Structure 1
Amino acid sequence: MEIKFIDLFAGIGGIRLGFEKAMQTFGIETKCVLSSEIDSKAAETYKINFGETPSGDIHEIHEIDEFDFLLAGFPCQPFSYAGKQKGFGDTRGTLFFEIERILEKYRPKGFLLENVRGLVSHDKGRTLKTIIENLEKLNYRVKYLILNSSNFGVPQNRVRIYIVGLLGEEPELTLQSDFGSSDSHQYKKQQLSLFDNVTNPTVKDILEDNNESTQKYICSNSFTDMLSKVVGNDFEKLHGVRLIDYRGGNSIHSWELGLKGDCTPEEIDFMNALIANRRKKIFGTHQDGKRLSIEQIKTFFDNPNIDEIVASLLKKGYLSEDSNKTYNPVAGNMSFEVFKFLDPDSISITLTSSDCHRLGIVQDNVPRRITPRECARLQGFPDDFICHPEDQFAYKQFGNSVSVPVVEEVIYDLLMNNQKFFEEYLPTQEKAITQ
Structure 2
Amino acid sequence: MLKLGTIFSGIGAIEHSLERLGIEYKVSFACDNGGIDIFSKTIERNLISVDKEIEELEIRLSSLTNESYKDANELDIQEHFEHIQKRREELETESIIVAERILKERFLLSTIDNFLEMITNSRVKMKYSSFLGSFQGMQINDISKSHLYYLLRDSRDFYKGLKDEELIHSLLGVSLKEYEVHYKAFVETSAVRKLNSHLTEVIDTINMLIERLSTVEILDDLSKLKDFRKKKKYIDNLYKPKKKSNFVLQSYLANYEINEEHFHWNASFLDGKQYKDQIDLFVGGSPCQSFSMVGKRRGLQDTRGTLFYEYARLIKEIQPKVFIYENVKGLINHDGGNTWATMQQVFDDLNYDWKFQVLNSKNYGIPQNRERLFVVGFRKDIELKEEFSFPTPIPLEKKMQDFLLDSVSGKYYLNKKGVEFVTKEKNIMKRFTQIDGDIQLCQKANQQFNWHGDFVFVEENKDKEKMMEDLEKYFLSEKVEKYVMSSGTKNFYSKPKIDLEIARPLLTTMHKMHRAGVDNYVTTEGRIRKLTPRECLRLMGFCDSFKIVVSDTQMYQQAGNSIVVDVLMEIMRSIIKSLPEITEGKNYKYRDNIEQLSLL
2:506 aligned partner, one-letter code: L
| Cα 1:134–1:203 shift into 2, 3 Å | same
Which secondary structure does the structure 1 equivalent of 2:304 belong to?
helix
Equivalent residue for 1:8?
7
| Cα 1:373–1:5 shift into 2, 3 Å | same
Match of 2:409 among 214, 217, 222: 214
| Cα 1:78–1:134 shift into 2, 3 Å | same
Give the distance between the partners of 2:351 and 2:5, measured in 1 at CA: 20
Equivalent residue for 2:568?
407
2:26 aligned partner, one-letter code: K
Q: Does 1:101 align with 2:100?
A: no
Which secondary structure does the structure 2 equivalent of 1:410 belong to?
helix
Q: Does 1:372 align with 2:533?
A: yes
Give the distance between the partners of 1:19 and 1:109, measured in 2 at CA: 16
Equivalent residue for 2:487?
none
| Cα 1:243–1:163 shift into 2, 3 Å | farther
Which secondary structure does the structure 2 equivalent of 1:91 belong to?
coil
* Percent of residue pairs identical: 30
1:36 aligned partner, one-letter code: C
| Cα 1:134–1:339 shift into 2, 3 Å | closer
Equivalent residue for 2:266?
57
| Cα 1:93–1:364 shift into 2, 3 Å | same
| C-alpha distance after superposition, 1:42-91 (max 9, x if no partner) | 11111111144532011221153322221103211111112111111111
- The CA RMSD measured in Å over matched residues stands at 3.1
Q: Does 1:245 align with 2:426?
A: yes
Offset, 1:340: 5.2
Give the distance between the partners of 1:94 and 1:403, measured in 2 at CA: 24
Contact 1:145–1:176, Cα closer than 8 Å, also in 2 = no
Q: Does 1:173 align with 2:354?
A: no
1:395 aligned partner, one-letter code: Y
Contact 1:242–1:339, Cα closer than 8 Å, also in 2 = no
Contact 2:2–2:26, Cα closer than 8 Å, also in 1 = yes
Pairs within 5 Å for 1:353-364: 353-355=508-510, 359-364=520-525
Give the distance between the partners of 1:423 and 1:15, measured in 2 at CA: 13
Offset, 1:139: 0.9
Offset, 1:150: 0.9
Which secondary structure does the structure 2 equivalent of 1:93 belong to?
coil
Which secondary structure does the structure 1 equivalent of 2:28 belong to?
strand
Contact 2:452–2:511, Cα closer than 8 Å, also in 1 = no
Pairs within 5 Å for 1:208-287: 208-210=405-407, 213-224=408-419, 226=420, 245=426, 248=429
Equivalent residue for 2:253?
47
Offset, 1:355: 2.6
More strand by share: 1
Give the distance between the partners of 2:583 and 2:414, measured in 1 at CA: 54
| Cα 1:89–1:411 shift into 2, 3 Å | same
Q: Does 1:112 align with 2:324?
A: yes
Give the distance between the partners of 1:339 and 1:387, measured in 2 at CA: 22
Offset, 1:244: 6.1
| Cα 1:200–1:165 shift into 2, 3 Å | same
Contact 2:32–2:265, Cα closer than 8 Å, also in 1 = yes
Equivalent residue for 2:182?
none
Contact 1:88–1:127, Cα closer than 8 Å, also in 2 = yes
Higher alpha-carbon deviation: 389-398 or 410-419: 410-419
Match of 2:543 among 382, 398, 414: 382
Which secondary structure does the structure 2 equivalent of 1:105 belong to?
helix
Give the distance between the partners of 2:564 and 2:425, measured in 1 at CA: 28
| C-alpha distance after superposition, 1:367-425 (max 9, x if no partner) | 21110001111111111111243111011111111110001110111111333x64864
Contact 1:34–1:64, Cα closer than 8 Å, also in 2 = no
* Structure 2 runs not aligned, ≥5 long: 35-245, 435-448, 458-497, 513-518, 589-600
| Cα 1:151–1:130 shift into 2, 3 Å | same
Higher alpha-carbon deviation: 115-124 or 342-351: 342-351
| Cα 1:360–1:3 shift into 2, 3 Å | same
| Cα 1:44–1:153 shift into 2, 3 Å | same
Match of 2:25 among 25, 30, 35: 30
Offset, 1:33: 0.7
Offset, 1:164: 0.2
Equivalent residue for 1:397?
558
Offset, 1:128: 2.1
Offset, 1:363: 1.5
Q: Alignment length, in residue pairs? A: 308
Which structure has more RCO (C-alpha within 8 Å, separation ≥ 6)?
Answer: 1
Give the distance between the partners of 1:18 and 1:218, measured in 2 at CA: 31
Offset, 1:250: 8.3
| TM-score (structure 1 length as normaliser) | 0.64
Task: Find the structure with the greater CA-based Rg.
Answer: 2
| Cα 1:9–1:145 shift into 2, 3 Å | same
| Cα 1:336–1:95 shift into 2, 3 Å | closer
Give the distance between the partners of 1:250 and 1:90, measured in 2 at CA: 29
Give the distance between the partners of 1:117 and 1:223, measured in 2 at CA: 31
Which secondary structure does the structure 2 equivalent of 1:346 belong to?
coil
Contact 1:145–1:162, Cα closer than 8 Å, also in 2 = yes
Q: Does 1:144 align with 2:299?
A: no
Offset, 1:341: 2.8
Equivalent residue for 1:135?
347
Which secondary structure does the structure 2 equivalent of 1:245 belong to?
helix
Which secondary structure does the structure 2 equivalent of 1:64 belong to?
helix
Which secondary structure does the structure 1 equivalent of 2:521 belong to?
strand
1:391 aligned partner, one-letter code: D
| Cα 1:5–1:176 shift into 2, 3 Å | closer
1:38 aligned partner, one-letter code: N
Give the distance between the partners of 2:414 and 2:3, measured in 1 at CA: 46
Give the distance between the partners of 1:100 and 1:336, measured in 2 at CA: 35
Contact 1:140–1:167, Cα closer than 8 Å, also in 2 = yes
1:85 aligned partner, one-letter code: R
Contact 2:3–2:27, Cα closer than 8 Å, also in 1 = yes
Pairs within 5 Å for 1:416-431: 416-419=577-580, 422=582, 425=585
| TM-score (structure 2 length as normaliser) | 0.47
Offset, 1:126: 2.3
1:371 aligned partner, one-letter code: T
Contact 2:2–2:584, Cα closer than 8 Å, also in 1 = no
Equivalent residue for 2:303?
91
Which secondary structure does the structure 1 equivalent of 2:507 belong to?
coil
Higher alpha-carbon deviation: 159-168 or 81-90: 81-90
Give the distance between the partners of 1:424 and 1:13, measured in 2 at CA: 20
